Structure formats: structure tokens, C-alpha cells
Structure 1
Amino acid sequence: MDKNIIRKRKWQGSLIFFAVILISYASSVVTNFDLIDGVATLPAAFQWIVSNLMITADAFEKLPGIMDKLIETIFMSIAATTIAALVSIFLGCMGSKTTRTNGALSVFARFIASASRNIPVVAWALILLISFGQNSMTGFLALFVGTVGFLTRAFIEAIDEADQSAFEALQASGATYFQIVSKAVLPQCLPQMISWTLFMVETNIRSATLVGILTGTGIGYTFDLYYKMLDYEAVALITMTIVIAVIMIELASNQIRKVIL
């Protein structure tokens, strides 16, 4: 490789490194963050965690109620994700350059994907909270809207990257639009679509905990309730059940991905 190119890349790398350092320092000044003080508080923080977040026999007595709320949260996340996936397939076909029917619908589908994806789920929960109040519907809609944006974008990219030969062959033979989509496009993209949907199920279960704190539903509400009661043993048990549930669902998702991909 030319020495000038190597020298240029070294200079670029050095400039990027110093720019990151400068931005980090400026951010710490603006936010009044002291790294040394932050590191110094870590031992005390870990000591508090060990002393307070211990699961006791009294906490296990609350396990049936906690499990009911956890199952409610998991089912709500799965329902929001699967319904959002169906809507996203339609929007993905409209937004893709390969399967779009006209430019206006393509722009509309991409706008929906961009708008719903770039607003965090927590923000959607706060927005919908004003209209629907604290109930399960608010949490469901917040997860649904955020998932539609993410999956629509992922499905558009999956369709655009699909092999065009089958699409062109059916189009040349006079097949209808729905025949082309069902026979040429979806069979190729379905494994990726299922994989992204499973990923969003895992993500939404995590997000549903935080959304539940805002909407007063599910495991998030139970966590917030015991936390405000200073019942840290129950908080530790809730945290453990959430972690175990997410790990189990992730393992199941990985097994499904191995089969379909």
C-alpha cells in the first residue's frame, strides 16, 4: 500500500481519536460528571446491592402474583409484536422498491416507518397515556407503534435484497401482484422476517417492563409498586424473574433461527 495513504489514514485515525476525547471531555463538563468520583462510588454501590437486593423466603411468597404479571407482560409483548409484524409486511411491500405499487404509497410507508421508529417506545407510552390513560391498551399500543417502525424498515430492506429473478419471471408470465408477492417475494424473505420478529419479541419484553411503570400495568407496575414500598427483596425477585424469562425466550429464539436460517 502507498506510504502516503498509510500516513493519511494514521492522521485521520489520530484526529478521530482526539475528537472523541475532546467531545467526551466537553460532555463531562456540561453534565458536571466526574469520572473519578463515579468510580469511587462503585464499591459502596455494590455493597448496597449485596446488602439489600437479597431474595428471602418472604419474597418467594409473592412469587405467584409476580409470575401472573410477568406472564401478562410476555403475552402483551408477543401480541403487540405479531400484530405489528403483519402490518409491517403490508407496509414493507408498499415501501420496497421491488414491490411498491406507486410512489405515493412507498413514501407514505417509509414515512410511517421513520416516524414511529425514531420516537422511543417510552415517548410513545407518554403520548398515548394522555389519550388512553393507565391501562394495558396504552402499553400494547406503545409497543405496537414502535415495533411497526422497526419491522417495516427491516422488511423493506429484506425485500429489496431478495433475488429478482423469480419476481421478474412471474411478472413476465402475467401473474398478478398478489401472486408475485406470495410466490416470489415472501418465500425468500420469510426467514429474515421471522428472525426480526423474534428479535422484537425479546426487545419488547424488556421495553414492556419500563412501559408498565408508566402505564401502571404488567411486571413494570409490580416492580414500581414494591420499589416505592422499599421492599427490595421483592424487587430482587422481580428482577431475577425478568432476567430468567428474557434468557429463556432468547434461547428459544436462537433455536428457531437455527432451524429457519
Structure 2
Amino acid sequence: MNDIMIRKRKWQFTIFLIIMIAATYASSIITDFNALHGITTFPAALYWIFSNMLISQETLTRLPSILDKLLETIFMSIAATTTAAVISMFLGLMGSTTTRVNRAFSSLARFTASISRNLPVVAWALILLLSFGQNSLTGYLALFVGSIGFLTRVFIETIDEASQSSVEALRATGATYFQIVNKAVIPQCLPLLISWILFMIETNIRSATLVGILTGTGIGYTFDLYYKSMNYNVVALVTFSIVITVIIIELLSNYIRKVIL
């Protein structure tokens, strides 16, 4: 019996591998992508990067202005995430089977999260750009709307996984809806909710760079400005600053997660 199962799994893996190879080959033909040409030109691309994107002493004089824009991006990401978390908490409570008031509100909360989540942040930025123009508000709203979809979904799943015993015990004593949420649901879910919020902040800081290129704000605008003027030395400094900032925030976020979980 075990031999039959092993052979079956081998055949399944072989078929899957053949399908993936065929799909990759077909995609290369459709998109006119030459993998061999890409591999052979890779050393030349690396040489161009290391010869043109060097951080010089003169480039470092732009660092204060770059850090100002970087801080603007960080604060905008944090503001968008925290305000979205408040709305997502309400939608999560409405959408969860544990804490929902009725099916209509639950369906509405899940539908709202689905629409927000299935459109990428860049698409939201382009849509909002038509209404609000190139400014910080547009960047904030794009990150805010995108965050609501993701946070609502994970909040619903987190609340659904909470222990039902404490909820049922409070219901048996005649506790109100808000007492059940405050005493039974939130205390159980709070560490995971905070962890997801921290993860969303990290994600939004990365996304804010691309959103900033579209909305003309933050570090994304600075990157786009120097890139279009072909000042690659400053582009290298901007890129390096973004990478270091994201790593530092990720380390802080991981440390906070270890403390609360």
C-alpha cells in the first residue's frame, strides 16, 4: 500500500513538474523572453550598476534632504496603517462569525475587505490621483484603503480562531455584546492583532516608495526626480537609505513581536 502511495506521489510530482516547465516555456515564447540572453548580459548589468551607482562625498551632502523625505514616508505609512487598523477592527468584529451582529453586516464587511484587497495599492493610487491630484493626501489614502482590505481579512481570521469557551461563558451570564468583545475577544486576540499591524507598517513603507513616485510625495518622489535627471549617484544613496530603513524597522518589529507573543 505504501509503495503504491509513493509511486502515485512521484507521478503527481512528475506531472506537475512537466506542466510547470511547459508553462514556463510557453510564457517565454509569448512574452518573447530570451533566458540565455538575460544570463549572458547579467555581468554587464552588474558592471554598469557598480560603475555608475557609487555614493561619493558630494552625494552625501544630499543626505539631510533625503532623510527628511524618508521620514515623511515613514510617518505617512504609520498614519495610514494605524487609522486603517481602527476601521479594520470594526469591520473585523462585524465580519467574524464569533462577534458578528447579523449576516448582512458580516457580508458587507467581507465584501468591503475583498474589494479593497483585490486592487493593488498602485491601482488605488492611480484612481485617487485623478480625484485628489499629486499630494501627500493621495499617497495616504492609497495606503489607507489598501491596508483596510488586508487588515480586515486577517482580523476576521484572528477573531474566528479565538477560544469560544470564554465567549459562551460571558453570554451565559447575560453580558452585553461590548462586554463580550472587551473582556473575551480583544484580550485573546490583541497580541496577534498588534503583530499584523506591525507587519502592515513594514509593507506600507515599502509600498509608499512606489506610491510616492505616482503621487509626487515622500522618498518615492525624490527617487524619481534624481532617476529622471540621471543622477545615479544620488539614486544609489536614496536606494541604500530605503533598504537600511526597512531593515531597521523590520528588526524593531520582530523584537516587538517577540515581546508580545
Q: Distance in 1 between matches of 2:32 and 2:150?
A: 34
Shift of 1:58: 1.1
Q: Distance in 1 between matches of 2:2 and 2:75?
A: 59
Per-residue CA distance 1:123-151 (angstroms, 9 max, x = gap): 00000000100000100000001100000
Secondary structure at the counterpart of residue 98 of structure 2: coil
2:9 aligned with 1:21 = no
Residues 80-99 of structure 1 mapped to structure 2, 5 A cutoff: 80-99=80-99
The residue that corresponds to 1:117 in the other structure is 117
Shift of 1:78: 0.2
Question: How many percent identity over aligned positions?
Answer: 68
State the one-letter code of the partner of 2:21.
Answer: I
2:241 aligned with 1:215 = no
Shift of 1:108: 0.6
Secondary structure at the counterpart of residue 198 of structure 1: helix
The residue that corresponds to 2:237 in the other structure is 237
State the one-letter code of the partner of 1:109.
Answer: A
Secondary structure at the counterpart of residue 58 of structure 2: helix
Which stretch shows the higher mean deviation, 109-118 or 70-79? Answer: 109-118
State the one-letter code of the partner of 1:2.
Answer: N
State the one-letter code of the partner of 1:251.
Answer: L
2:39 aligned with 1:39 = yes
2:188 aligned with 1:188 = yes
Shift of 1:2: 2.5
How many matched pairs?
Answer: 261
The residue that corresponds to 1:2 in the other structure is 2
Shift of 1:6: 1.7
State the one-letter code of the partner of 2:222.
Answer: T
The residue that corresponds to 2:56 in the other structure is 56
Structure 2's unaligned 5+ residue stretches are none
Per-residue CA distance 1:166-190 (angstroms, 9 max, x = gap): 1001111111101100110011011
TM-score using structure 2 length? 0.99
Residues 97-108 of structure 1 mapped to structure 2, 5 A cutoff: 97-108=97-108
Residues 134-173 of structure 1 mapped to structure 2, 5 A cutoff: 134-173=134-173
Q: Over aligned residue pairs, what C-alpha RMSD do you find?
A: 0.7
Structure 1's unaligned 5+ residue stretches are none
Per-residue CA distance 1:193-214 (angstroms, 9 max, x = gap): 0000000100000000000000
State the one-letter code of the partner of 1:8.
Answer: K
The residue that corresponds to 2:133 in the other structure is 133
State the one-letter code of the partner of 1:20.
Answer: M
Shift of 1:3: 2.1
Shift of 1:42: 0.4
Secondary structure at the counterpart of residue 138 of structure 1: helix
State the one-letter code of the partner of 1:217.
Answer: T
